[in-house]
Structure 1
Amino acid sequence: MEFNIKSLGNMAHWFHLLISVGIFTSFLQFTLNYSFKNCNESVDSKKAIFKCIKRQAQTVSAIVDDIPPSATNITISYCILSDIPSGSFSHLPELKILRLDCNRIRKINEDAFIHLMHLQTLNLSTNAISYLSHSSFRGLHNLTNLLLDDNQLKSLPLDLFSSLTSLKILDLRRNQLFNFSAVVHSITHLSALTKLKLSFNSLNSLHHSASLPQSLATLYLDNNNLNTLGCSREFLSSVKVLDFSYNKFLSSRAFWGMNLNGLRYLRLHSTNVSIIKLLKCNFTKVPPQCIDFSGLGANKPHFLSSLCKQLSHYPKIHIRNMTLQSNGIRTLNKTMLSNCPKISGILDLSYNELKNIKCLEFLKDQKQVRSLKFEHNHITKLLSCKTATNLSLPNLKELSYRYNRILYISAFAFIHAPKITTLLLNINIIAYMDKKALSGLRDLVTLRLDNNLLSDLYAESFEDLHSLKTLNLRNNRIAVIFNNTFHSLGNLTILDLGGNKIAQLMPQAFNGLDSLANLYLDRNRLEAIDDQQLGRLHRTLQVLDLCGNSICYYTKQPYSPFVNLTKLIDLKLDGQLPYGISILPSAFFRGLTSLTRLYLSNNHISYFNADIFDDLKSLTFLTLDNSGAGVTQLKPGIFKNLQKLVTLSIENMGVESFSEEVFGNLTALKVLHLNRNALQTMDIQLLENLTNLQYLDLRNSPLSCSCLNSDLQNWTKNNQKVQLVYLYDLSCQDLNGSNFYNFETDVCYLDLGVYLFASTYFATIVLILVPLLHVKLYWKFKYGYYVFRSWFGEQWRRLREEEEKSMYDAFISYNSADEKWVMEKLLPNLEGNGSSFKLCLHHRDFEPGRYIVDNIVSAVYNSRKTVCVISQSFLRSEWCSLEIQMASYRLFHEMQDVLLLVFLESIHERQLSTYHRMRKVMLKKTYLQWPQPDCTDPINAQELFWKQLKRAISSSSRCQEEQSEVDLQMGQPTEGNMEERGHFGSQPNLMP
């Protein structure tokens, strides 16, 4: 017993420990469901990647406690977190990437990231952190990237990074650091550190008390307040990339005596450093080919000439890339670069004040340049260079004029650079381009003319561009594509015509585009899709973008503009103007057998044919967001052939039901967006049948918090397969202040409403049936009741035994109104006049004190025959009816020939229509009728009547089949031979 108590104590201790670090809580909740309070798991991440963005939770634990321990990548951004408590992520030991940027974090407690042994990237940028404890990052031995930029740090503890032995990149930009020595002291032991970013701080000197790690190769010190370096000569000797730009007080004197011989890149943009003086004295031993010369001219005239002259003192150097941005250069003459060392790579003259480049004449001594950039200048026109026959730049491959003011391009503007492969003319104001402007560019591969003012395209413009693969004409003012405009572009694979005013495509507009794979026609003014035009691209076209046009149809008649595009894999038809594609013609997507992605959002389609997607058997992605017109009724079977569909987005479609007829065939579906629909409940069985479903979005749907959804609530709590997005944010539309995941369902297991409805329903049915049964089957029920009662009292056995003895030859059933005839006629003829029949009469032979029903049953079963004397009075008697019922039971159910019918008077057939049992007897058996007074020979008729009656009573009780044989031998009619039967008239029917 002592051992058990001690064990229980240890268990309680560990249980308390697990709760304190959050492991037990998060694990328990995760095992119950696959939804997260404040996060979403990325599809197919296998419980590894989570995003928690724009959540209102105020603590870290509220966000991450239900994330499983297998998580490796978590993003928590744009939340309202203020601090990171100790051990906040202890239950996530596999975490490798943690983003906590763009929050309101002010404080990081000690051991906040304890136990994150595998963490490699920690992003804490764009917060309000002003202080860090010496143990804030304790335990992060595998951390390689630490981002602390955009905070309010003024100082760093000396041993802040002591445990970050694997750290490679440290970003401290945009803080308030002013003590560079303290920064160096905190990182000096980081033997793996390669990049340190200290931009946009308040450093005014590089004074230090410790040395930089030998591994540090990149150091950003731009945008500080440096006016001197104040460091030792060898302090920066191991640095390869050094940025001092935008330290406006930093002068050349600061570099005196520094050893910068190991640099591979030095940027001094917008400093007070004189690059000419720096190169002239060469007291830093900086390799000139590694200097970025941007922002060093300070609008000084002849800066470029002076620079080149100074560089000429280094005859053995080779400059690969020369960057001359932001130097205020206004003109480029032929000799400006003559003294510069040979430039074999990139010459960047962007962000200057150039207006005219004169056919690149300034490169006459720099013909090895491979890439030339004139971006962000003031160039207004590109003149013809046909006359500049003495200048040729065979090595020039890339030429960029982006972000200028070019209005027009003359003929042969690029004839001097026939080998260029990339020409960037985008983001200008080009309104006119000569038909021969691009002549000679036979090697051109990429041409960008987007974001200009071009209105016309001519076939001659692209005549020489046989190697062109990418042509971008987006965002111009083109209205018509004429015939054969692109006929020479046989190798073109990407044609971008989006954002123009194209309303017409001539019949042969796409002639010659034999290799075209991607065609972008979005945001134009097309009103229809020409199947013949697109049909010419059937061999190669894979991507077709028609978003934002004016395509509209007014009939459901079959129309298939894509019938020949069997290679198309991506089709965009989003947002047709002004009101979207309201009607999709039947068979609209016929032929798209290879299509994998279809975009139909923002179209307000009023009707979807059930077979509209039948041909899209390869489709994996479909979006119909905002394409419903009010409440959308998706036809049963509309997705029946989409068995490869992985992602289906039907947000804001007005969908009211989630039925198997619509969604049942989507067996490969993984992602289902049903946000902002009219769903009030969902079929749980269908959700379980979608075996591959992983991600379900039901936000902003009016789910009913009633017993109709009790099973759905239970499913959300227990399913471990489907992630229900932000389950804990789903509110009850019909219960203010309640949430879907925990609305009360106890009463649902005893739904009184259902029971009350069922009981009242059946009570109503009974009240309707009882009168009907009383009218139609009253005597059957009553007879059955008495038979059962007799059976229960073992009456049947006794009656069977007595039947063998047959106390009476016949039981006479009659009404008291006919008693005179019975006593004066029947009784004397059957028991008198030498007859030996013994009759049972109720007034004479019934046992006194016994139930009348028991007497009737006994009389029927103790008599060989039952003779019913039928008259109007008999038909109205309740007891007579019971007697004939008993006798007919023996006739039909026990197969005993015991019943004889004697009619005292003529009764019309209509009067017998309600006596079903009697009618059945009359159809099965012959009957006797007492001769009426008006017959021709009443005396002889009565004698014959008594003779036939006596013979019938004398006959034995045999089965109906035997009696039928006797009837046939005697010439009597049988069942089904009604025409030979006697009629109810005055004529006597004396058949035995």
Structure 2
Amino acid sequence: MFGHMLYLALILNQFNHFATLHPEFYPCEIHTTKDGDINVDCQRRHLANVPKFTSLSVISLNLNENHIHHIKGATFSGLANLKHLSLMWNCIPDRFKELRWPSCSLKIDPNAFSGLKNLTSLQLAGNSLKTIPPLPKQLEILGLEFNHIFQIVKPLGTPLLKQLLLNKNCFYANPCYQSYFIDPRVFQDLPELLNLTLSYNNVTIVPPYLPLSLESLDLGENKITHINKESFANLKNLRHLNLGWNCQRCDHASEPCFPCPNNQSLNLHQDAFLDQRDSLISLSLRGNSLHTIPQHLFIRLHKLQELDLSDNFLAYAIQNGTFYEELRNVVSLSLLYNYEPLTSFSELILSPSIEKMTALRELHLSGLFFRVLSNHSLAPLVKLPRFEFLELRMNFICSVSMDAISQLRTLRWVGLSQNMIAFSSCFSTCTSEAIPNNYRTLEKRDNGQLNLQTQKVILPTSELNTMQASGEDHCFFYYSIWHFKKQICSKKLFFDLSQNNIPWLNASTFRGMEKVVCIDLSYNYISQTLNGQQFTHLSKLAYLNMANNRIDLYSDKAFQEISGTLKALDLSNNEFHFVMKGMGHRFTFLPHLSSLKILSLANNHIGLRISNILNSTSLKYLDFSGNRLDIMWDSRRNQYLHFFQGLTNLTHLDISENQLKSFPPEVIVNLPSSLQMLRMDSNVLSYFPWGNISVLKQLCHLNLSSNMLSFLPNMHFELRLVSLDLSHNRLVVIPKAFLSQAINLKNLMLNHNQLKILDVQALPLSFHKGYTFCPAGPHKNKSSCKLVLHANPFTCSCVISGFAKFLRETYLDIPHLTTEVHCGYPESLAGVNVLSIDLHSCQEIFGSVAFLCTLWLTLAATSIPLLKHLYGWDLWYCIQILWTGQKGHTPVNGGSMMDNQYDAFVVFDTSNKAVRDWIYKEMVVRLENRGRWRFRLCLEERDWMPGVSCIENLHKAVYNSRKTVFVLTSPSGCSHESGVVRQAFLLVQQRLLDEKVDVAVLVLLDLLFPKFKYLQMRKRLCKKSVLSWPKNPRVQPLFWNNLRVALVSDNVKAYNKNVTESFF
């Protein structure tokens, strides 16, 4: 009784500690600033209620993307100093949510925010709100986007509000079926408002009485038809104004389009922006179906720097207009997609008045639809002293005067992509025909440019910054070839000729481009062998992109004319010649490119009939992804084992997506010793030679993610890596010795594996608490070392209590710790966060077990000597009895039983197949192989000695067995086909007369037997020796137990005492 009470007390004690075991603010993550302020991140935690936090240090709380449907009055009572609160996307409007989610609306009690006296920022977007809840007076930022708020009648009561976001409360994807309305009193109560967004709201007129303090106003994507002189009157501080897409141009729309009545243009009064003459910096009039620009509309806007007139009908105004003269201070002018419907002009014509825009730096002229770019086309731009950026994309240009472009002395970027330029009269597509009616570009309204040159990036920018900050100074982390393009081409002359019709190149192609530093020739139809004469005039060329063409690299003179300047070369996706069967390929041009540092040969399917080795003393970055190294490094071939060895200064090697199943040890030994980063992700690797990696003494970053690795060696080897990515594999365990010497490791990615248990001792020493190798990161409670563990099926039991404790106490940066580091086993805890393991319960369980064990040992040590002294002989006697009962019957030495070789001789009709099957499949299995009592049976067909007479074998079987079992079937107790049963019965009767031993046991396999007198007498005299086979399977275990008892017991002692006279 005492033991049970003690155990119950221990269990209850564990429950008392449960509430204090979780980390502070669990299940949310916290970030502590250097000043001690706490930012709590609860985004995507599947929360149905706001967690009850109590802390005066919390200044920011993020509750975005949960399932919170009710904000009660006392919800934030414990966060008195909260400054920033975000509750976005908790009840998404119907047309934005997934179909499986029910409709909902966030309910906010009137006093929910009243206690937050320091709250300055409140974000409530995406909550299906129909009214604005009562707000704190000191609020400065209020976000109400993506709700159902389309009538605001009462003032907000926030006189300090500076930013009010109300966009997308009433538009085609979130309809309200009425005009948007805001009472003028609302704005009168906002004297300090700086930023107001009302886009996508079905606003029909500019709201009156706007706050005079406004600096930014967004009225885009509404249904405003008129801009009057009074629309923006007195808004003398307005700096940014968006009026785009109010009278939409629908022949160019990629989204639902809503033009003004009769397809009219936006009616602009010439004095509409009069009061903004000394303040307006950026103005967007995009997508308003403008055919002309009202005279003197911009003349007083002295500070205007950015003007967007895209997606209008200004094709003729661009050619003949004089509005340019009013834009003397404009830096960026966008005239995108102002083409005239069904018309393609012969050449680009710009109004001479554009030369008055002396401050112009950027000019966007895509989508005007003309065929020739002549000297006359760009003549008005020649005198612009600061002009740097010219975009002419998507114009169907087929002829370009490079001499005209070369006259623009200050030009730095020329965009001619997505045209029909061929630089050859044989392939010219110039025509005077109009553009087909169904030929329309699918440009988004957000002015995003179509970019087909999508290249994979090594890591997201955020991770790159983290990696770079945590890496050693000598271990530079490369981004991608596009990062190098930005570095090399920044503020240098860049020509974008991608996505044109260029079939081949020659020296005359680049006349007029002598000063160009970077050229993009990707996505053309160039199919030729480069022989060193194509780029003769490009004496300054440093970056060349020839991806997605059909370049033949067989000649050793390729690119030799630019060998002294070329730094980056992109030859990716030129697989046309490499996949041709039987064609040889060479890379003998590489040694001649003495300045080449970056080379991309990605996605070329390079695998056979190529140079055995790449040679270059300058190359540092090589992208060889998307090829067939699995063929080159096949075990049957060895000519490519030194393929990369000649790149003596290579620091970055990308061999991902090469279908590699294994990485030969000979290859890693022959890699350049200068290698700092090696990417092998997205292969099918099941083996990696870890023991040989120490030869790469400068290797900092190793990426083996997205492979099929399931085993890591439990061996010590020198590992100088700063970053190791093993994510998306099949690892089950991390051996202790594997990372024992990884003293420099700061970033370890183990996510998306099959780890069930992670021993903390298997982590590098730098990851353990107390080591100062990882310096502090951007937050006070985070280090610069990163450990990624999410998406692993951890076993949540006391076995990983040390691991859970490590996660609670570590300062490592562990992404998704409270959201995706889940239990996988046992199934009852699947999906539960690992941090929810109760460490105290594990300690109490172990302590309870230890207490009970020592208690019993103490009691035993005290009671055993005392009991032995008082009841020693009695205890010995009881133990002997219990031992005998546990071990079962042991034959007594002496008498006729001394020489018995078998426990039972089984007699049956061997000619009866059914009986034979029952004997061998049931009786032999049950009695010889199963149960606590196991018997040795004697069977005629198995144990009788060959060559000895039948009667002699029968005599030995009966007399050398303690019992004789007769297995009988109906219709008679004795078989007529064999005399063995009959003779055995006679011998058993003879033993009864001679030795006074009753050894007969009868087993009746049929329920109905004739009423033989012997059977009836046998049942009366010794009922235990006559057994019947039951037909009910549930009773069969009882039959076997009774048979065992019959075999070990003495039949004579089991005789019925009521029988007054025996046969002895």
Instruction: Give the 3 Å change call, closer, same or farther, for CA 563–302 of structure 1 in structure 2.
Output: closer
* 8 Å Cα contact 1:187/1:212 also seen in 2: no
Of 16, 23, 41, the residue aligned with 1:34 is: 23
Compute the displacement of 1:525 (Å): 0.9
Deviations 1:180-218 (A, max 9, x none): 224xx344224xx3x433322232333446646433322
Compute the displacement of 1:760 (Å): 14
* Aligned position for 2:723: 621
In structure 2, give the amino acid aligned to 1:488: H
Mapped pair 1:643 → 2:743: yes
In structure 2, give the amino acid aligned to 1:487: P
Compute the displacement of 1:406 (Å): 3.7
* Aligned position for 2:417: 375
Compute the displacement of 1:637 (Å): 0.8
* 8 Å Cα contact 2:706/2:729 also seen in 1: yes
198-207 or 737-746, which deviates more: 737-746
In structure 1, give the amino acid aligned to 2:139: G
Of 572, 583, 595, the residue aligned with 2:679 is: 572
Compute the displacement of 1:398 (Å): 1.8
Question: What does residue range 956-967 of structure 1 map to in structure 2 within 5 Å?
Answer: none
- CA distance in 2: counterparts of 1:329 and 1:486, whole angstroms: 41
Of 467, 475, 489, the residue aligned with 2:573 is: 475
* Aligned position for 1:974: none
Compute the displacement of 1:494 (Å): 2.0
* Aligned position for 1:152: 170
* Aligned position for 1:139: 139
* Aligned position for 1:203: 224
Question: What does residue range 287-326 of structure 1 map to in structure 2 within 5 Å?
Answer: 287=328, 291-298=333-340, 307-309=350-352, 311=354, 320-326=361-367
Compute the displacement of 1:423 (Å): 0.7
In structure 1, give the amino acid aligned to 2:495: L
Compute the displacement of 1:746 (Å): 6.6
Mapped pair 1:733 → 2:826: yes
Of 242, 245, 264, the residue aligned with 2:283 is: 242
- CA distance in 1: counterparts of 2:406 and 2:783, whole angstroms: 69
Compute the displacement of 1:263 (Å): 2.5
Instruction: Give the 3 Å change call, closer, same or farther, for CA 47–339 of structure 1 in structure 2.
Output: closer
- CA distance in 1: counterparts of 2:694 and 2:219, whole angstroms: 59
Compute the displacement of 1:220 (Å): 1.7
Count of aligned residue pairs for this structure pair: 696
- CA distance in 1: counterparts of 2:729 and 2:64, whole angstroms: 31
- CA distance in 1: counterparts of 2:211 and 2:337, whole angstroms: 31
* Aligned position for 1:336: 377
Of 198, 208, 212, the residue aligned with 1:188 is: 212
SS at match of 1:464: helix
In structure 2, give the amino acid aligned to 1:467: T
Question: What does residue range 79-90 of structure 1 map to in structure 2 within 5 Å?
Answer: 79-81=66-68
Compute the displacement of 1:100 (Å): 3.5
SS at match of 1:725: helix
Question: What does residue range 698-777 of structure 1 map to in structure 2 within 5 Å?
Answer: 700-705=792-797, 724-726=817-819, 730=823, 733-735=826-828, 741=836, 749=844
- CA distance in 2: counterparts of 1:373 and 1:396, whole angstroms: 14
In structure 1, give the amino acid aligned to 2:745: L
SS at match of 1:490: coil
Deviations 1:827-878 (A, max 9, x none): xxxxxxxxxxxxxxxxxxxxxxxxxxxxxxxxxxxxxxxxxxxxxxxxxxxx
* Aligned position for 2:691: 587
In structure 1, give the amino acid aligned to 2:740: K
* Aligned position for 1:104: 92
In structure 1, give the amino acid aligned to 2:540: D
In structure 2, give the amino acid aligned to 1:568: L
* 8 Å Cα contact 1:571/1:595 also seen in 2: yes
Compute the displacement of 1:456 (Å): 3.6
Mapped pair 1:229 → 2:268: yes
Instruction: Give the 3 Å change call, closer, same or farther, for CA 501–592 of structure 1 in structure 2.
Output: same
Question: What does residue range 775-854 of structure 1 map to in structure 2 within 5 Å?
Answer: none
- CA distance in 2: counterparts of 1:303 and 1:638, whole angstroms: 69
In structure 2, give the amino acid aligned to 1:325: S
* 8 Å Cα contact 1:731/1:738 also seen in 2: yes
* 8 Å Cα contact 1:374/1:402 also seen in 2: yes
Compute the displacement of 1:33 (Å): 3.9
Instruction: Give the 3 Å change call, closer, same or farther, for CA 269–427 of structure 1 in structure 2.
Output: same
* Aligned position for 2:558: 461
- CA distance in 2: counterparts of 1:703 and 1:235, whole angstroms: 68
Deviations 1:600-632 (A, max 9, x none): 1222235433347x2322x23212123337xx4
* Aligned position for 2:368: 327
Structure 2 unaligned regions, length at least 5: 1-16, 94-104, 142-159, 172-179, 248-264, 428-490, 579-583, 634-639, 772-781, 877-1064
Instruction: Give the 3 Å change call, closer, same or farther, for CA 598–361 of structure 1 in structure 2.
Output: same
* Aligned position for 1:524: 627
* 8 Å Cα contact 1:204/1:227 also seen in 2: yes
Instruction: Give the 3 Å change call, closer, same or farther, for CA 41–518 of structure 1 in structure 2.
Output: farther
SS at match of 1:598: strand
In structure 2, give the amino acid aligned to 1:227: L
In structure 2, give the amino acid aligned to 1:228: N
Instruction: Give the 3 Å change call, closer, same or farther, for CA 83–402 of structure 1 in structure 2.
Output: farther
- CA distance in 2: counterparts of 1:292 and 1:268, whole angstroms: 6
* Aligned position for 1:832: none
* 8 Å Cα contact 1:133/1:160 also seen in 2: no
Instruction: Give the 3 Å change call, closer, same or farther, for CA 206–756 of structure 1 in structure 2.
Output: same
Of 493, 506, 522, the residue aligned with 1:426 is: 522
Of 646, 651, 656, the residue aligned with 1:547 is: 656
- CA distance in 1: counterparts of 2:568 and 2:232, whole angstroms: 54
Compute the displacement of 1:522 (Å): 1.5
* 8 Å Cα contact 2:374/2:401 also seen in 1: no
SS at match of 1:589: helix
- CA distance in 2: counterparts of 1:212 and 1:334, whole angstroms: 46
- CA distance in 2: counterparts of 1:343 and 1:692, whole angstroms: 49
- CA distance in 1: counterparts of 2:573 and 2:113, whole angstroms: 49
Mapped pair 1:399 → 2:495: yes
Deviations 1:333-353 (A, max 9, x none): 443344565345246353443
User: Which has the higher Rg, Structure 1 or Structure 2?
Assistant: 1
- CA distance in 2: counterparts of 1:752 and 1:36, whole angstroms: 29
Deviations 1:653-673 (A, max 9, x none): 4344433663374545899xx
SS at match of 1:471: strand
Deviations 1:521-548 (A, max 9, x none): 1121113676745344344x33221111
* Aligned position for 1:353: 395
* Aligned position for 1:57: 47
Compute the displacement of 1:56 (Å): 2.5
* 8 Å Cα contact 1:330/1:352 also seen in 2: no
Question: What does residue range 858-897 of structure 1 map to in structure 2 within 5 Å?
Answer: none
* 8 Å Cα contact 1:129/1:151 also seen in 2: no
* 8 Å Cα contact 1:591/1:615 also seen in 2: no
* 8 Å Cα contact 2:298/2:326 also seen in 1: no
* 8 Å Cα contact 1:384/1:412 also seen in 2: no
* Aligned position for 1:603: 707
Structure 1 unaligned regions, length at least 5: 1-27, 386-394, 672-689, 782-992
Compute the displacement of 1:421 (Å): 0.7
* 8 Å Cα contact 1:574/1:600 also seen in 2: yes
* 8 Å Cα contact 1:542/1:569 also seen in 2: yes
Compute the displacement of 1:318 (Å): 6.9
Of 524, 544, 556, the residue aligned with 1:447 is: 544
Compute the displacement of 1:319 (Å): 5.0
- CA distance in 1: counterparts of 2:267 and 2:654, whole angstroms: 57
Instruction: Give the 3 Å change call, closer, same or farther, for CA 71–456 of structure 1 in structure 2.
Output: farther
Instruction: Give the 3 Å change call, closer, same or farther, for CA 442–504 of structure 1 in structure 2.
Output: farther
Deviations 1:400-419 (A, max 9, x none): 11333444434442133111
In structure 1, give the amino acid aligned to 2:701: R
Q: TM-score, normalised by structure 2?
A: 0.55
* 8 Å Cα contact 1:43/1:694 also seen in 2: no
Instruction: Give the 3 Å change call, closer, same or farther, for CA 543–35 of structure 1 in structure 2.
Output: farther
406-415 or 281-290, which deviates more: 281-290
In structure 1, give the amino acid aligned to 2:242: Y
- Determine what percentage of the aligned residue pairs are the same residue: 17
Instruction: Give the 3 Å change call, closer, same or farther, for CA 131–734 of structure 1 in structure 2.
Output: closer
